[in-house]
Structure 1
Amino acid sequence: MKKLLASIVKDFRLLLRDKVGLILMFAMPILLVLVITSLQNNTFKIVNDHQVPLVFFNQDGEEVSLELERALREVGMFDLIVDSKSSKSSNVSDISNTMSGHDALVGLYIPKGFSDRITQNAEQLTSQALKDLGVGGEVASFSENALSDLDVYYSPVLQESYRMAVEGALRSSLQVIQSRKMLNLIYQALNESEMPEEVEQDLLHNEIVLNSQTVTNDGSGKIPNAPQHNVPAWTIFAMFFMVTSLGSSLVREKLNGSFIRLKTMPGGYLVGIFSKQLVYLTVALAQVVVIFSIGAWIFPHIGLPALELPSDLLALFVVSVVSGLCAISYALCLGVYSNTEEQTNGFGAVSIVILAALGGILVPSFAMPESFRIFTAISPLHWCLEAYYELFLASGKLADLWPSLWPILAITLFLQVLAFVGLKRKNLI
């Protein structure tokens, strides 16, 4: 026991001297958590709270185009910008300059005659529908150009997902206007009078309500916020980045002859290996405490949602210990097989980034191409992330974690055996 305690003290002193390693294990992940969570939280706000600035270039100025303007305001997604200059813009250069002047992300160009063509199209469709019902006369002559295309201009900074959301909102507004026109024409043809306002509202707004719910194990239905996604993910990333410190420490001891001296002592180098794992497991748990504490208590003071810790703290501790052991095993294995510190640091850093990408930390797993998803199972970071997400997003308990914990334990055991084989082959134990 005295030898183990002495070895632990020695490894702690070596760790405290490794300033770069401490920065990579603590300062870097804290910075990543702050930056990435802020960006993602702002993205959530843009989608849910912020309005997209849209310049409305209305060359038509008639009833239907004005109705479209009102409909877009009612959608609530757009901050509609209409002024005299925007209505006179007629070419791409003018439209681009107007959008830049208003810092607008979207521009919608309504050509002259838009209202007439919408009305003509509604009359044609109504006439055809009434004839099919046997209550109409001759069908109005059909013009293939009854509807004209609308040009939508986007700022290059607007991502494809937002463009799709914008186009969906525009199509919805246009569909409401066309439906209103047709309903009024059909009502007039059948009743020879204008459709009452209340009837029109009932017909247009009598829609099925979608009740959105989040599925959680405890039935709470809480919607996870940005910290719930990011804090566990980047904590795992921080754990595995200990490869630069632990791996380099092993390589240094091999190069300076410490292994040979320790082999002559009772207990051999296995005591030293065990003490290193205990020290770095303490580091991993310290990373969890520090980063989670920042998420829970510092985030609210800098305008971010607070990290809500899971109710099952024992399960959180188990996941953290198992994830830490897996990260230690990876660093240990890499340190045993590396011959220089450059190999450990270079390959270790690159491999962790690749495993993080495959594991769903850099890019969500569901967003990956199908051909890449088969590789997620080989990434230990993926299973660590799944275990944390089961706690933070699905409000799971310890019993719910075993589908993710078993792969982590299997990978950890494999890496430990691989490291032991490497130590034996190099006559280090």
Structure 2
Amino acid sequence: MLLYKLWRSFIKEILLLKRDIGGIVIIFVMPLLLIVTITLIQDSTFKNMEGSKIPIIFIDNDRSEISESIKKQLENSKTFELLTDFNEKSAEKAVFGGDYQMAIVIPKNLTKDINSNIDSKVQSIVSSFGLETDSSAIKQNTSKAKDIRLYFDPATNISFKNNVMNAVNKMVFEIENKKIYKAFQDQLGTTEDLKNSSLIAFKEITPQKENIDVLPNSVQHNVPAWALFAIFFIVVPLSINLVKEKSQGTSVRARISPTPYFIHILGKTCTYLIICVIQFLLMVAVGIYLFPYMDLPQFDVTGKMLPLIIVTIFAGLAAIGFGVLLGTVADTQEQSAPFGATSVVVLAAIGGIWVPVFLMPEFMQVIAKFSPMNWGLNAYYDIILRNSGIGGIAEEIIFLFLFYIAMVAVALFYERKQNAV
């Protein structure tokens, strides 16, 4: 009997949704447009901007060995296009005006001053060992460190600034090392070539599939992230429908009917859970079939579809529970719709959809651990990127289900208290 009542409640929800076909289309189409747009934008980052170069201004006031070496390395990086028809004043104006991302200014006499400084220090070190050297050549070098001036557009991303400064520092460090080796070689009078070769190197070990490195790409990050965002966005139509039922008297008829009120909640849960699964399957279909035609990596779900759907079901339950609570507490659509949309965006930001959690301040990282979106996102990543099974995502699934139970329980308690005679 209860199953029949649940079925009728499910049919009622389907009929309600049929009255707002436009809203249902938006629920499905909006996430698809979002995932395509974001993935296309971010894909260049994952590809490290292959095939495109950033124009930067390069001003060489030294015109000697070191500046030529820096210029050559920048050109060989295949990332920058060097513009040299500027002076420092015009470069500053162009960069601060937003015409170019950055400018690099090499100071005068950079090579001469560095050579003099290194020779002086090397001679002092060699003489301190009791080795013969030209004492008349030893002199205290009091020249200050030479500054390679970098101008950045004020709107430039901070990560871009850090990457460029780290690259320039590395280039200068390698050049200085080579100069020091050469100076010691000259002082010691050895003919053996002292090469500045690294004794320690970094080697990244990546997961492999059939002896081929499996590297993360933009699709693997964006499909689960924006699918989760779309799933939680059903909070808006769900809460609006609950408010409509209160304003139209449907909820009153439901309470006085012989069917327990929680059956109506289960009917809504089943209906919107199907919508969540369809949303996720559409996202996956776009990743598998559409992205390769857009020169994007294909979304690989080989052997992972079942655990992904399980995560989707429990993430959908968490979103439905939140929507039920919001629709129960709100009195008007003007309350539920803006608050629902805003709260989903906030949960997405906290949960790591917009910004990775590890980049957040420490106190925000603690808060992120209590976000249902973070639980769902971690579960998706565990399956897609870390190759975990059901056992590896059990904790996140339990948290999502408990969140649903807690939200529905609070909603039922609030509804019963509000309508107590």
TM-score, shorter chain, exceeding 0.5: yes
Q: Is the 8 A contact 2:95 2:102 kept in 1?
A: no
SS in 2 for 1:309: coil
Task: Note closer, same or farther for the CA distance 1:186–1:388 as it changes in structure 2 (3 Å cut).
Answer: same
**2:257 corresponds to 1:265:** yes
User: Hey, what does 1:30 align to over in structure 2?
Assistant: 32
Q: Given residue 25 of structure 1, which amino acid in structure 2 is its aligned partner?
A: I
Q: Given residue 129 of structure 1, which amino acid in structure 2 is its aligned partner?
A: I
Q: Is the 8 A contact 2:311 2:379 kept in 1?
A: yes
**Residues in 2 aligned to 1:129 and 1:5: alpha-carbon distance in whole angstroms:** 89
Task: Note closer, same or farther for the CA distance 1:72–1:2 as it changes in structure 2 (3 Å cut).
Answer: closer
- Among 307, 315, 330, which residue is 2:322 paired with? 330
**2:392 corresponds to 1:390:** no
In the TM superposition, residue 3 of structure 1 has moved relative to its aligned partner by: 4.0
SS in 2 for 1:205: coil
Q: Is the 8 A contact 1:54 1:107 kept in 2?
A: yes
In the TM superposition, residue 79 of structure 1 has moved relative to its aligned partner by: 2.6
**Residues in 2 aligned to 1:254 and 1:78: alpha-carbon distance in whole angstroms:** 60
Task: Note closer, same or farther for the CA distance 1:401–1:205 as it changes in structure 2 (3 Å cut).
Answer: same
SS in 2 for 1:315: helix
- Among 184, 187, 201, which residue is 2:185 paired with? 187
**Residues in 2 aligned to 1:397 and 1:192: alpha-carbon distance in whole angstroms:** 61
**Residues in 2 aligned to 1:82 and 1:8: alpha-carbon distance in whole angstroms:** 66
Q: Is the 8 A contact 1:259 1:428 kept in 2?
A: no
After TM superposition, the structure 1 = structure 2 runs for residues 152-301 of structure 1, keeping only pairs within 5 Å, are: 152-191=150-189, 199-200=193-194, 203-214=195-206, 222-301=214-293
Range that drifts further, 263-272 or 142-151: 263-272
Identity of aligned residues (%): 28
In the TM superposition, residue 172 of structure 1 has moved relative to its aligned partner by: 1.5
SS in 2 for 1:60: coil
Q: Is the 8 A contact 1:64 1:118 kept in 2?
A: no
TM-score normalised per structure 1: 0.88
After TM superposition, the structure 1 = structure 2 runs for residues 334-353 of structure 1, keeping only pairs within 5 Å, are: 334-353=326-345
**Residues in 2 aligned to 1:99 and 1:368: alpha-carbon distance in whole angstroms:** 28
User: Hey, what does 1:142 align to over in structure 2?
Assistant: 140
User: Hey, what does 1:111 align to over in structure 2?
Assistant: 107
SS in 2 for 1:186: helix
Q: Is the 8 A contact 2:49 2:79 kept in 1?
A: no
Question: After superposition, what is the alpha-carbon deviation per residue over 1:157-191, rounded to whole angstroms, capped at 9, x for unaligned?
Answer: 43111111111111121122222222222212222
User: Hey, what does 1:7 align to over in structure 2?
Assistant: 9
User: Hey, what does 1:364 align to over in structure 2?
Assistant: 356
User: Hey, what does 1:121 align to over in structure 2?
Assistant: 117
Question: After superposition, what is the alpha-carbon deviation per residue over 1:281-323, rounded to whole angstroms, capped at 9, x for unaligned?
Answer: 1101111111111112111111222212252322112111111
Task: Note closer, same or farther for the CA distance 1:97–1:343 as it changes in structure 2 (3 Å cut).
Answer: closer
Q: Given residue 385 of structure 1, which amino acid in structure 2 is its aligned partner?
A: L
**Residues in 1 aligned to 2:272 and 2:339: alpha-carbon distance in whole angstroms:** 20
Question: After superposition, what is the alpha-carbon deviation per residue over 1:181-209, rounded to whole angstroms, capped at 9, x for unaligned?
Answer: 2222221222266x6xxx35xx2234423
Q: Is the 8 A contact 1:54 1:106 kept in 2?
A: yes
**2:94 corresponds to 1:93:** no
Task: State the superposition RMSD in angstroms.
Answer: 2.8
Q: Is the 8 A contact 2:62 2:109 kept in 1?
A: yes
Question: After superposition, what is the alpha-carbon deviation per residue over 1:136-173, rounded to whole angstroms, capped at 9, x for unaligned?
Answer: 35372223225421111223343111111111111121
**Residues in 1 aligned to 2:209 and 2:190: alpha-carbon distance in whole angstroms:** 58
Q: Given residue 138 of structure 2, which amino acid in structure 1 is its aligned partner?
A: A
Q: Is the 8 A contact 2:105 2:149 kept in 1?
A: yes
Q: Given residue 189 of structure 2, which amino acid in structure 1 is its aligned partner?
A: N
Q: Given residue 27 of structure 1, which amino acid in structure 2 is its aligned partner?
A: V
Range that drifts further, 52-61 or 40-49: 40-49
Q: Is the 8 A contact 2:123 2:187 kept in 1?
A: no
In the TM superposition, residue 239 of structure 1 has moved relative to its aligned partner by: 1.1
Q: Is the 8 A contact 2:75 2:82 kept in 1?
A: no
TM-score normalised per structure 2: 0.90
Q: Is the 8 A contact 1:336 1:419 kept in 2?
A: yes
**2:75 corresponds to 1:73:** yes
Q: Is the 8 A contact 2:117 2:143 kept in 1?
A: no
In the TM superposition, residue 426 of structure 1 has moved relative to its aligned partner by: 2.9
Q: Is the 8 A contact 2:95 2:152 kept in 1?
A: no
Q: List runs of 5+ in structure 2 lacking aligned partners.
A: none
In the TM superposition, residue 277 of structure 1 has moved relative to its aligned partner by: 1.2
Question: After superposition, what is the alpha-carbon deviation per residue over 1:251-300, rounded to whole angstroms, capped at 9, x for unaligned?
Answer: 11111111222334332443332221111111011111111111121111
In the TM superposition, residue 367 of structure 1 has moved relative to its aligned partner by: 0.9
Q: Is the 8 A contact 1:58 1:110 kept in 2?
A: yes
In the TM superposition, residue 242 of structure 1 has moved relative to its aligned partner by: 0.9
Q: Given residue 79 of structure 1, which amino acid in structure 2 is its aligned partner?
A: F
Task: Note closer, same or farther for the CA distance 1:177–1:239 as it changes in structure 2 (3 Å cut).
Answer: same
Range that drifts further, 41-50 or 178-187: 41-50
Task: Note closer, same or farther for the CA distance 1:148–1:400 as it changes in structure 2 (3 Å cut).
Answer: same
**Residues in 1 aligned to 2:40 and 2:297: alpha-carbon distance in whole angstroms:** 10
Q: Is the 8 A contact 2:66 2:110 kept in 1?
A: yes
Task: Note closer, same or farther for the CA distance 1:192–1:231 as it changes in structure 2 (3 Å cut).
Answer: closer
Q: Is the 8 A contact 2:91 2:103 kept in 1?
A: no
Q: List runs of 5+ in structure 1 lacking aligned partners.
A: none
Q: Given residue 89 of structure 2, which amino acid in structure 1 is its aligned partner?
A: V
Q: Is the 8 A contact 1:21 1:242 kept in 2?
A: no
Task: Note closer, same or farther for the CA distance 1:46–1:219 as it changes in structure 2 (3 Å cut).
Answer: closer
